[in-house]
Each structure stands twice: as C-alpha cells, then as structure tokens.
Amino acid sequence: MAACDGVSIDRVYQQRAGWRVAALRDDPESARLFLADGEIPEEFSLLRQPELASLLERIARDGRDGFYAGATATTLVKGVQAAGGIWTLRDLADYRVIERPALRFKLKDNRELISAPPPSAGGVALAQSLGMLQQLPWQSADKLQRSHYEVEVLRRAYRDRGLLGDPDFVTPPIAQLLAPSYLQQLASSIDPQRATTSASLAPAPAWREGDHTTHFSVLDNAGNAVAATLSINLPFGAAFSVPGTGVVLNNEMDDFAAALHGSNTYGLSGSAANQIAGGKRPLSSMSPSFIDSPEAFATFGTPGGSRIPSMVLLAMLSYLDGQPPSAWVSTPRYHHQYLPDVIEHEPNTFSPVEQAQLQQRGHNLKVVERPYGNQQVLLWNKQSGNVEGASDPRGIGQAQLFSPWPDSKKPVK
C-alpha cells in the first residue's frame, strides 16, 4: 500500500510543508515523518509511513476497534499524555459517528440544493446565498455588478453563521434562516450600487428557539454519489504525531469559539452557540454539496477553510450559468465573510479598473498572494447518461472515468 511503499513528494506537499515547517520541526516525531533532516523533502523523493500502514491494516482487520480500542488506542493516549495532553481511553471508546439528514433547499427551475447540515455552516450559507441571489438579477448583470451582488449575499450569510452550532447542544434556527420571507428581507437590504458595511448590519436575529482539508466527488454506474470533505484544519493539523502510529493529530479545536470576542485562524468571529463543551462538535465551513434536478446531477466541494462556501457558491453559479465543469473549478475566486469587512481575491480576479470601481462602491479589497482551494466536481447529464468531471487546476488532482459504461451500465435516471 502507499503508506508502506511510499508516495512521491510533489510541489503541493512542499508548499504545505513550507507553511508549517517550524511547527513540524518542533515535534521530533513529525519532523522524522514529514521532513528530511529537518528540511522540506526534495521533489520526487518518497514519503514512507510504515507505522501508519500497520495501523491501517489493524483497522481493515478489526474495524472500529482497530483504532478506538486495543493497542492503537493505548498507544495514542499514552503518546498524547506524554506530551501534556488530556486524552483518556474513555474519550476514544465513547466517540461515535453521527449521521444527520442532509440540508435540502429548493431552487428555481425544479432544482434542489443538497448540502451539509450543522455543525457545518457551509450548507446554510450556500442555501441563503442562492436564495437571495434568486431574487436579484445576477445572471443578467455584468461582471462587476454580479460580483457586487455575490459579495453582498455572502456578507449576510456569514453574519448569520454565529447562530449555528452542534445540534446536540443548540437548536440551529434553520427553518427561519431559510424562510422565503427572511431571504427576501435580506435581499431587499442590498443596495445595487453601494457596499453595505458589515458594521452597519444589525446583529444576527435572536430566534426564539431553545488550509488542511481535502475533498473528493464520486459517482457510480447505479447513480449513487458521494461528495466528501475531510479536514485536519491547518496543513499538517497540530503538527504533532503520536510515536509508533504514524498519525498526525488535527487542530480542529480552532474551529470552536474559544473566546466570544475573538476569532480563529481564518478570522471567523466567535459565538455562544459554538463555545467549547465536552462531547461537542465544532462548527465547520465544509460544504460538500449536490444540485439535483430531473435533467442533471452535479457535485461540488473543496478545501479552503472559511473560504469553502464562497468557492462552492462561485462554482454553483457557473453551473447555473450553463458553463462546463472545467469552468466551475477554474473560475477566478473572491470571498467575503462579514468580518473582517474585506473582499479577499486571487491575484488576477479583478482588473485594476474593476478594483477601482468596486472601491468606489465602498468595498475594501485585499489580494490573496497565492491561488487557493482545490475543487473537485462532477456533472451527470441524466438525459444522455454522459458524465463529466473536473479537477481544480490550482491543485494536482485528476478527474477520471475508470471504465466506459455500455448503454446498460450508465447511471440510472
């Protein structure tokens, strides 16, 4: 398997390791696993993880107990405690995966958004953004006007993010946030010619009710689809590896609101609904999503921290505009998350003239020095049976059809 035989170091690995090289050097086990004599490995050299290969074999043999119980659990807990952590064997034994109903939101033209529910905030942000845009003339607008509309709906959707949290601890007001009357209210508050400063927006309503990530999209010949986003938060997570396991731990605790008046690594503001509590799952921006209709089925998803919903939204709008999957993943990116009150954008997203025009409308802009995200998408045309995939040109992934489907083997309608 790859963990034992090794995988080739590529430019993306080198880039991500460069972002966290100091943290990797601080942990001897992480430095041993992911660096070469304390330096970033050379391109095309091999990353081998025999301890991880043994752990994966135990999981394959023993299932859940191959990780959350037995020798693996004991080694993990001892390693974490030796480094000053507070894990216990009971913490691992008590962990359970929770399956929740997908978030569903009706769109125009008999389409439906199917996305991640809380504790992911991404699905709600996408539904709100699309719901507001459906009431605005975004498709007939020129590029600048369209960008203005999209920034303004994102500003409002990210403002409402603070109402969301783990449904086992709080009751997210999903029905109210997605109510047509509320989305109409939000859309009507958008000035077509001027930016709404985030400071001028009222706080999110108090309803009366109790980079690193990866993504893949898969469709089989029976029409079953998966859009899966997995995260360890920052590249190399906590940059702490448990000796003897090959496992690098995540730093997803950063997704909680450690302080109500602070912000996390991605600049997202804290909220009471997302405060730390035992057994609680943190709010996330992950947004694996489908758009389904009688004519077609499309999947979307990407890594990218707090920018995930805005990236997925831009890809969805490209799809709704009738563009091919290759255009969804390559569209220039920009992002607004309510606070800080700034449009972040890739270097070539806006021309100097367009930047000046957006600033004249009251927008603040900030160039993100490097392209971001790594979107993976699929489109199934239910009428023809044709399937297209696309992988983000910013990354090194590939879209592959493993075998041509005879007519009798195409995905069912």
- Are 85 and 116 found together in one domain? no
- Are 201 and 90 found together in one domain? no
41: Cβ–Cβ under 8 A, 6 or more apart, which residues? 9, 13, 14, 17, 34, 35, 47
In this prediction, residue 210 carries a pLDDT of: 31
Identify whether 2 is part of a domain: yes
- What the block records as the tokens of 393 is 């040109």
253: Cβ–Cβ under 8 A, 6 or more apart, which residues? 276, 282
- Are 296 and 202 found together in one domain? yes
Residue 343 sits in a domain of what CATH number? 3.60.20.40
Instruction: State how far the alpha carbon of 229 is from the alpha carbons of 198, 309, 375, in Å.
Output: 29, 12, 10
Identify whether 385 is part of a domain: yes
CB 305 within 8 A of CB 122: no
C-alpha torsion 158→163→165→167, nearest 10: -130
pLDDT single digits (tens) 322-361: 999 999 999 999 999 999 999 999 999 999 999 999 999 9
In total, how many domains does the chain have? Answer: 3
Q: How many helices (H) and strands (E) does the chain have?
A: 14, 15
| Greatest pairwise CA separation for the chain in angstroms | 62
Minimal CA–CA distance to 218: which of 389, 375, 404, 403? 389
- Are 31 and 43 found together in one domain? yes
- Are 205 and 126 found together in one domain? yes
Identify whether 274 is part of a domain: no
Hey, how many other C-beta atoms are within 10 angstroms of the C-beta on 164? 26
pLDDT of 69 above 60? yes
Identify whether 88 is part of a domain: yes
- Are 128 and 39 found together in one domain? no
Residue 18: domain span: 1-48
Confidence of residue 209 (pLDDT cuts 50, 70, 90): very low
Lowest-pLDDT range of 55-69, 245-259, 276-290, 350-364: 245-259
* DSSP letters spanning 197-262: -GGGSPPPP--S----EEEEEEE-TTS-EEEEEEE-SSTTTTS-EETTTTEEP--GGGGSBSSTT-
Quick check: bond before 119 cis, omega within 30?
Answer: yes
- What the block records as the tokens of 294 is 């009688």
Counted residue by residue, the chain has a size of 413
Hey, how many other C-beta atoms are within 10 angstroms of the C-beta on 233? 22
CB 339 within 8 A of CB 262: no
CB 11 within 8 A of CB 227: no
pLDDT of 260 above 80? no
Hey, how many other C-beta atoms are within 10 angstroms of the C-beta on 66? 18
pLDDT of 222 above 90? no
Identify the domain boundary among 73, 97, 121.
97
In this prediction, residue 221 carries a pLDDT of: 85
Identify whether 297 is part of a domain: yes
How far does the chain reach from its first CA to its final CA, in angstroms?
36
- Are 318 and 398 found together in one domain? yes
Q: Is the pTM of this model over 0.75?
A: yes
Q: How many CA atoms lie within 13 A of 23 on its CB side?
A: 17
In this prediction, residue 40 carries a pLDDT of: 98
Identify whether 269 is part of a domain: no
The whole-angstrom separation of Cα 250 and Cα 237 is 4
- Are 38 and 152 found together in one domain? no
210: Cβ–Cβ under 8 A, 6 or more apart, which residues? 171
- Are 289 and 197 found together in one domain? yes
C-alpha torsion 265→275→122→97, nearest 10: 110
Identify whether 248 is part of a domain: no
pLDDT single digits (tens) 101-119: 999 999 999 999 999 999 9
The whole-angstrom separation of Cα 312 and Cα 377 is 10
Identify whether 237 is part of a domain: no
Identify the domain boundary among 70, 97, 124.
97
Instruction: Give the residue numbers annotated as catalytic, written as ranges.
Output: 213
pLDDT single digits (tens) 121-137: 999 999 999 999 999 99
Identify the domain boundary among 35, 70, 97.
97
* Mean pLDDT of the residues in the chain: 91
- Are 161 and 13 found together in one domain? no
- Are 375 and 339 found together in one domain? yes
Q: Within its chain, how far is the Cα of 140 from the centroid?
A: 29
- Are 322 and 342 found together in one domain? yes
